[in-house]
Structure 1
Amino acid sequence: MTVMVEHESGSYTVEELESMPEDGRRYELIDGQLHVSPAPGYRHQEIVAELCGRLRAACPDDLTALPAPFTVQVSSKTEVQPDVLVGRHVDFTDKLLPVAPLLAVEVLSPSTNIRDLTIKKSAYERMGVVSYWVIDPQEPVLAVSELDAEGCYRQVAEVKADDAFDATLPFPVRIVPAELLGWLWENGAG
């Protein structure tokens, strides 16, 4: 279960995140509100690992793909950790990405579904993340949203199971949701 934690002053800052315990939970800050999520499960992590590997293999030389935990910190009130992100090498510091990634991916889990589909999606849109992917590991389904000319997300694709998505943003890559589950899908555990 994701928990939103209230602060006595009403708002957290990224500096306060440094005092959070190293307890396996994910601590994120969105517009000053602290969101705490439990460590992800096996199915979730299989998808993250497989997707990150496929993105890294297809990345142009000036880009990279990284799995969580890696911090995107665009202001003193917002620090998130997408499950997978793609950014330009030149934009990274040793500790974080201080600008919007080109792609942010969230893999849904029971504890993060609502937040990933609403709060984080809205935060990524405000940051200017050009492409936002959400993967439901239970189906599996990949939903792809991209910024339109007005800077708002529009869903441009939804692919299920063995169907393929041929991404053009942030670079060409083919993703088949069922393949991200690997062994789990092939052996009927999908």
Structure 2
Amino acid sequence: MATMTTQVRGLPYGRPLTNADLDSMPDDGHRYELIDGVLIVSPAPRLRHQRVSMRLSVVLFNACPDDIEVLAAPFDVVLAGDSTMQPDLIVTRTEHPTERNLPVAPLLAIEILSRSTRTFDLLLKKDRLARAGCPHYWVVDPDEPSITAWTLRDGEYVVVAEATGDRPFAVTDPFPVAFTPSDLVL
């Protein structure tokens, strides 16, 4: 009878993980992220998720100024020595990314909710991005469809815009953009 283990070979036991440990993860189609030394593993996104991601990236790309760019996951955002995440979309100044990662908090991080990531996106990632000083955080729920935008004020995220279905969503920061959530899920 074979014994089953939950340990990943080669990972240290009994200590928080670091970004160096994250580099040893296999290239197997899963998304490996590290939040405060805790490994988060997510399956590859589903088709609906990918469609929303692509449509939203086009909307953002068309609206952003020349000194800002939109990048899609997987692309590492290094927030600390024990925290590297891959938001579904990030918006950053063009001079900040390296070929390998974004070594600073993005101007905007966007997560597209799914059943397997909802809790992490709404709690852990949101909190970790706030602590890193990410000025804007958006969450898209493709099932409603809806979008909520938070802005960092005094170290806490506050809701600055929300929209559901055909209702317009509009913000001015980090740059002006407007659309409806239903446009993302056609």
TM-score (norm 1): 0.90
Once the two structures are TM-superposed, the CA of residue 175 in structure 1 deviates from its matched residue by 2.4
Counterpart residue type for residue 163 of structure 1: R
Whole-angstrom distance in 2 between the partners of 1:76 and 1:13: 6
Once the two structures are TM-superposed, the CA of residue 62 in structure 1 deviates from its matched residue by 0.3
Whole-angstrom distance in 1 between the partners of 2:175 and 2:83: 26
Contact in 1 for aligned 2:76/2:100 (Cα 8 Å): yes
Matched, 1:98 2:103: yes
SS in 2 for 1:91: coil
Deviations 1:49-84 (A, max 9, x none): 000111111110100001100110121101000000
Matched, 1:140 2:162: no
Contact in 1 for aligned 2:61/2:69 (Cα 8 Å): yes
Partner of 1:42: 47
Q: Which residue of the other structure, out of 162, 167, 173, is the alignment partner of 1:158? A: 162
Counterpart residue type for residue 81 of structure 1: Q
Q: Which residue of the other structure, out of 85, 88, 113, is the alignment partner of 2:118? A: 113
Matched, 1:169 2:176: no
Deviations 1:25-72 (A, max 9, x none): 000000111000000101100000000111111110100001100110
Matched, 1:181 2:177: no
TM-score (norm 2): 0.92
Whole-angstrom distance in 2 between the partners of 1:156 and 1:61: 24
Once the two structures are TM-superposed, the CA of residue 22 in structure 1 deviates from its matched residue by 0.7
SS in 2 for 1:15: helix
Whole-angstrom distance in 1 between the partners of 2:168 and 2:12: 44
Partner of 2:56: 51
RMSD between superposed Cα atoms in Å: 1.5
Matched, 1:20 2:25: yes
SS in 1 for 2:131: helix
Counterpart residue type for residue 36 of structure 2: D
Once the two structures are TM-superposed, the CA of residue 141 in structure 1 deviates from its matched residue by 0.7
Runs of 4+ in structure 1 over 2 Å off = none
Deviations 1:57-113 (A, max 9, x none): 111010000110011012110100000000001111111100000000000000001
SS in 1 for 2:127: helix
Contact in 1 for aligned 2:161/2:170 (Cα 8 Å): no
Task: Return closer, same or farther for 1:7/1:162 CA change in 2, 3 Å cut-off.
Answer: farther
Give percent identity, aligned residues only. 47
The equivalences for 1:60-99 within 5 A come to 60-99=65-104
Whole-angstrom distance in 1 between the partners of 2:20 and 2:180: 39
Matched, 1:30 2:41: no
SS in 2 for 1:99: coil
What stretches of structure 1 of length at least 5 have no aligned partner? 183-190
